[in-house]
Structure 1
Amino acid sequence: MRRRLLVLVAATTTLVLVAFLVPLALLVRGVAADRAVQAATVEAQSLTSLVATTDRALLALAVEQVDATSRFDVTVFLPDGDPLGAPAERSPLVELAERGTSASTDASGGREIVFAVDGPAGSVGVIRTFVPDDELSRGVGRAWLLLAGLGVALLLVSLVVADRLARRLVRSATELAAVSHRLGRGELDARADPTAPGELGVVAGALNGLARRITDLLREERETIADLSHRVRTPLTTLRMEADAVPDADQSERLVAGVDAVNRAVTEVIQQARSRGPDGVASDAADVVRERVAFWAVLAEDTDRALTVAVAPGPLPVALSRSDLEACVDALLGNVFAHTPNGTPFAVRLRPRPEGGARLVIADQGPGLPEGHTTGMLRRGVSGSGSSGLGLDIVRRTAERSGGGLRLERSPGGGLTVVVDLGARPA
C-alpha cells in the first residue's frame, strides 16, 4: 500500500510538473530570444541618423566602433560602396531592404535583421545586424537547469510528504489488522487507535465497540452459566442422595452414575465458560464409546432393543475432551430411545478414519425421518418430533469443533443413520 501510494503521488506530481514546467521553459526561451533581438534592434537603430546624415568616412568610423563594442555583428550597406563594419554578404533580405522594406528572418547560425534608411539625395542605406544562436539562447540553459532543479525538489518534497502520510496510513492499517487478529485469538482487551486518519479511525472505533460488546456478552454468558450451575447443583445433590437410598443396588448404581454424568457435564460447561481459548485436550473415542454403550445397554435390554456394537480397538484419539465426547454419544443414543418404539434394534459402530480421528455411526431400524428433513434437523432448535431439537445441534457443533462433521442418512432397512466424523488432535 505504501509503495502504491508513492508511485501514485510520483506519477501525479510528475504530470503536474511537466504540464507546468515545459510551457514555462518554452516561454523562457522565447523571452531570451526576444530580449536579444530587442537589444540588437536598439543598437542598429542608433546608427540610423548617422547613415542618413554623416559622410562615409565618419560613418565607417562610427560603425566600426559600434561593431567592436557590440555583442552582435553590425554591417551598413551603402548604395555606392562596399559594406561598412562586420563583413557580410548581400543577402536576399538586404536586397529587400534596399527596396525600402525592413525585415528579419532566421538564418544559418542565428537571426538576421535589416533596416532600410533614407540616405542623402534620396539614396537608401541598409543597416544589417546578426544575432547568433548563442545570444538568442543566452541564460536559457541556466534557467532550464533551475526549472529542472525546482521540479526535482518539488517532486522530492511531494514524495516525502506522501511517504509520511503513507507510513501513517499503513501503520494504522497494520495496527488495525493486528488488533483484529488479537481479538480473534481471544485477547479481548486489545483496542485499536481511534485517532487513525480518515476512515481508518472510524473502523478502529467500530472495532473497539465490537470488542467491548463481545466482552460484555461473554461476561453476561459466564454469569448466567455460573448462576445456572448453582441452581442445578442443588437438585443434583438431592437426586444423588435419593439414588443412594434406592434399595436395588444395581438400579442405585445406574442412577448415581447418571447423576454424576450430569454433574460432570455441568462442571465442564462452567470450565468452558471461564476459558474460551482452545484447550488442546484429547480423549480416546474407543474407550468413551464402549463405556457409554455399556451404560445404555441396560436400558436397551429393558426395552427389548437388539444392540449391535462394533468398536475398533483403541486407542482412537480425537480432538475432544472426554466430557464433550460423552455428551455427544449420550445425545445420539438418547435420541434412539426417545424417537423409536420399544423393540427397535439399533447398532453402534466406531472405526478409525484414514485422515486421523474416528467415525461414529449409529443406525436404527425405526420410522426414520420424513422426506426432506435430513438437512433441516441439523439446524438448531429444529426437531419435527416434539423435542427441543438441540441434541443433534450439540452433536454437530461438537464434531465441527474437533475438525469433523455430522450427516444424516437413511438406513438400508428403513430408519435413520447418523454418521459423526471426529477429527484428530493436530500434532
Structure 2
Amino acid sequence: MRRRLLVLVGSMVSLALVAFVVPLAVLALMLAGDRATADALVRAQSLVPVVSAGSPAALGLAVQQANSSGGYPLTVFLSDGSALGAPAERSDAVRLAFTGRSLTAQADGGREIVVAVTGPSAGAAVIRTFVTDAELTRGVRRAWLILALVGTGVLVVSLVVADRLARSQIRLIAGMAGVSHRLAAGDLTARAPAEGPKELRQVAGALNHLARRIRVLLAQEREAVADLSHQLRTPLTVLRLEAEALPPSEQATRVGAAVDAMERMVTQVIQEARRSRHDEPGECDAAEVVAARVHHWSMLASDQDRPVTRHLAPPPLIVGVGEEPLTACVDALLENVFAHTPEATAFTVTLTPREGGGAILTVADDGPGFPHPGALRRGVSGRSSTGLGLDIVRRTAERSGGSATLTTSPDGGATVTVEFGHQTPT
C-alpha cells in the first residue's frame, strides 16, 4: 500500500510538473530570444537619425563609436554599394530592406536584424545587426535549472508528505492486524484504537465489537459447560451411595475409587470451563501422579490378566501442569488401552525427565494400533468413542509448552508420547 501510494503521488505530481514546467521552459526560451532581439533592434535604431542626416563622415564616426563600445555588431549598407562598420555580407534580408522594409530573419549561427532608413531618397541605407544563438539563449539554461530544481523539490516534498501519510495509515492497519492476531491467540482483551480516517475508525469499531462478542460467547459457553458438568453430580451422588451400600470387599473398594475419580474429573471440568485460558496452568510432581494412576489402573489390569511394565523416574519430577489435569491426562491414556485393546494385552508406561525441564510420558501397548492417523484431532476416533480423550491429552501437553505424538511400534501396537514442559527457575 505504501509503495502504491508513493507511485500514484509521484505519477500525478510528475504529470502536473510536465504540464507546467515544459511550457514555462519554452516560454523562458522565447523570452530570452525576444529580449536579445529587442536589445539589438534598439541598438540599430540608435543610428537611424545619423543615417537620415546623410553626412558620410558623421555616419562613419557614429558607426565606429557604436561598435567600439561593444555589444551587437552594426553595419550600415549605403545605396552606392559601400558599407560602414562591422564586416558583413549583403544578404537577401539586406537587399530586401533596400525596398524600404525592416525585418528580422534567421541566419546561420543566429538572427539577422535589418532596419531600412529613408534619407534624401527612399531606401538610402540599411542598418544591419546580428544576434548570435548564444545571445538568443543567454540565461535560458539557468532558468531551466531553476525550474528543474523547483520541480524536483516539489516532487520530493510531495513524496515525503505521501510517505508520512502512508506510514500513518499503514501503522493503523498494522495495529488492527496485530489486534486480530492477539485475538486469534486468545487475548480477548486486545482492542484496536479508533484513530485515523472514518473508514479505519469503522473497521476498528467493528473489530472491537467482534472481540467483545467473542468474549461474551466464550463466557456463555464456559458457563453452559460448567452447568452441564454440575448436573452430573446428582447421578454421581447416587453412585457413591450405592457404592457405600456394597458389602466391604476389594470390588467395592474399586467401585468407590472409580466414583472418586469421576467426581474429580467433573470438578476439573467445571473449574476448567470457568477458568480463563490465560490463568496459570499450575505445576505438580509428575512422578507421584503417574505412579499413583498406574497403581490404580494396575488393579483393573490384574483382573484382565494384562501385564504392566513400569519405567518411572523417581520423584521429584516437576511439570508445568496441575495435579488434576495431569491425572485426567494419564487416565485418558490408560483408559484408551483398556477400551481399545483385547484383554490380556500388555502395555508399558515410561516416565523420564525432559531436557530443558519437564517430563516425557510414554504409553505403549501390544494391541492393534490406531485405526485413524489423525486421532489426536478433536472428535476423531475411528472406533465407538467420542474422540476427545487424546485431544485432552494434546491440549494439556501444549498448555504446558509440550506436545503429543502418536506412533506405531514395530509389533503394530500404539504408542503415545507426551512431553510436558516446565521452565526451570534461573
Note the C-alpha offset of 1:218: 0.7
Equivalent residue, structure 2, for 1:396: 394
CA contact (8 A) 2:356 2:423 kept: no
Note the C-alpha offset of 1:159: 4.0
Note the C-alpha offset of 1:267: 2.9
Q: Distance in 2 between matches of 1:245 and 1:34?
A: 123
Q: Distance in 2 between matches of 1:63 and 1:271?
A: 118
> Residues 8, 386 of structure 1: CA spacing in aligned structure 2 closer, same or farther, 3 A cutoff?
same
Note the C-alpha offset of 1:133: 6.7
1:73-222 matches, cutoff 5 A: 73-80=73-80, 83-84=83-84, 87-89=85-87, 91-92=88-89, 94-97=90-93, 99-100=95-96, 104-105=105-106, 111-114=111-114, 125-131=125-131, 136-137=136-137, 140=140, 143-144=143-144, 147-148=147-148, 150-151=150-151, 154-155=154-155, 157-159=157-159, 161-184=161-184, 186-193=186-193, 196-197=196-197, 200=200, 203-222=203-222
- 1:84-123 CA-partner distances (Å, limit 9, x unpaired): 5xx412x23x355554477644677x64434567877787
CA contact (8 A) 2:114 2:126 kept: yes
CA contact (8 A) 2:116 2:127 kept: yes
Note the C-alpha offset of 1:277: 0.6
1:24-423 matches, cutoff 5 A: 24-38=24-38, 40-41=40-41, 44=44, 54-57=53-56, 60=59, 72-80=72-80, 83-84=83-84, 87-89=85-87, 91-92=88-89, 94-97=90-93, 99-100=95-96, 104-105=105-106, 111-114=111-114, 125-131=125-131, 136-137=136-137, 140=140, 143-144=143-144, 147-148=147-148, 150-151=150-151, 154-155=154-155, 157-159=157-159, 161-184=161-184, 186-193=186-193, 196-197=196-197, 200=200, 203-248=203-248, 250-273=250-273, 274-277=275-278, 279-354=280-355, 356-369=357-370, 373-402=371-400, 403-410=402-409, 412=411, 414=412, 416-423=413-420
Amino acid at match of 1:334: E
Note the C-alpha offset of 1:49: 9.5
- 1:11-60 CA-partner distances (Å, limit 9, x unpaired): 86457536742452243122321343245347646877985x65235982
Give me the TM-score of the superposition, normalised by structure 1.
0.78
> Residues 106, 357 of structure 1: CA spacing in aligned structure 2 closer, same or farther, 3 A cutoff?
farther
CA contact (8 A) 2:333 2:363 kept: yes
Q: Distance in 2 between matches of 1:144 and 1:341?
A: 95
Cα RMSD of the aligned pairs, angstroms, is: 4.1
Give me the TM-score of the superposition, normalised by structure 2.
0.78
Alignment gaps of 5+ in structure 2: 98-102
Sequence identity of aligned pairs in percent?
A: 53
- 1:259-278 CA-partner distances (Å, limit 9, x unpaired): 33333323333333322115
Note the C-alpha offset of 1:228: 1.6
